[in-house]
Amino acid sequence: MRIAILGGTFDPIHNGHLAAAEIVARAFDVDEVHFIPTFVPPHKPAAGITSPFHRFAMAALATEPFDRFRVSTMEVDMLEPRYSVDTLERMHQKYPGSHFVFITGTDMYRDIESWKEFRRLLSLTDFAVVHRPGFPMRDDVVPIQVIDEGPATTGEETGVYYFPRLEHRISSTEIRLEISRGGDTSAWLSSPVGTYIEKHKLYA
């Protein structure tokens, strides 16, 4: 089985996340994409982060129309933050013999060297790095393969693939800000997520 993974706080999940998952799912012809909301401890300085239960619910609503998309409780179940390398290790145990593609934006990939055991992580999964406006791709960590269009052909070795074509200038931060100002964010969110946010008065 081929499985793509998209981790994030998803506070809230938006069309940029869905577009990234779609482009990678197509290029690698994956069977499933697992959206994995991260656990963020309530006492953390970055607090203000919405409960993992709400973030999970919004991810479930947004991914529901897509056959291949799943939402995973793997990280939130632990009730403590997890490192990607540990999550990948557990995915290999849970889905033996599977091939993994780990999706990140260029903003996240920029700091890849500070990730726990990033070399081991790169040996456990392919990386699909999608362009995020304002964050240039780096090619000085490991060699990268640019996927302009068409399928990505992966061999036995894991590698890093770059998708330059995505141009989604949206972030959850901007969406939260816009909602707090009473603005309209419907173009950036799937409609059940918008309704959920209103009902539960998130980010108000």
Cβ atoms of 201 and 65 within 8 Å: the answer is no
Among the listed ranges 27-35, 78-86, 149-157, 171-179, the one in contact with ligand ATP (CB under 6 A) is 171-179
Among the listed ranges 93-101, 154-162, 164-172, 190-198, the one in contact with ligand ATP (CB under 6 A) is 164-172
Q: Supply the Cα-derived Rg of the chain in whole angstroms.
A: 17
Among the listed ranges 63-71, 111-119, 150-158, 170-178, the one in contact with ligand ATP (CB under 6 A) is 170-178
Cβ atoms of 119 and 153 within 8 Å: the answer is no
Among 4, 17, 56, 101, binds ligand ATP (CB under 6 A): 17
Name the E strands within the chain.
2-8, 32-37, 69-71, 99-105, 126-130, 144-146, 160-163
Number of residues binding to ligand ATP, judged by CB under 6 A: 19
Interaction with ligand ATP in 20-39: which residues (CB under 6 A)? Answer: 20
Beta sheet of 99-105, edge-to-edge order: 69-71, 32-37, 2-8, 99-105, 126-130, 160-163, 144-146
Phi first, then psi: give them for residue 105, nearest 5 degrees.
-85, 165
Residue 112 in the binding site for ligand ATP (CB under 6 A): no
Residue 173 in the binding site for ligand ATP (CB under 6 A): yes
Residues in the chain: 204
Bridge partners of 130, per DSSP, are 105, 163
Among the listed ranges 63-71, 75-83, 105-113, 193-201, the one in contact with ligand ATP (CB under 6 A) is 105-113
Among 4, 5, 16, 82, binds ligand ATP (CB under 6 A): 16
> Which residues form the interface with ligand ATP (CB under 6 A)?
8-11, 16-17, 20, 104-105, 107-108, 130, 132, 166, 168, 170-173
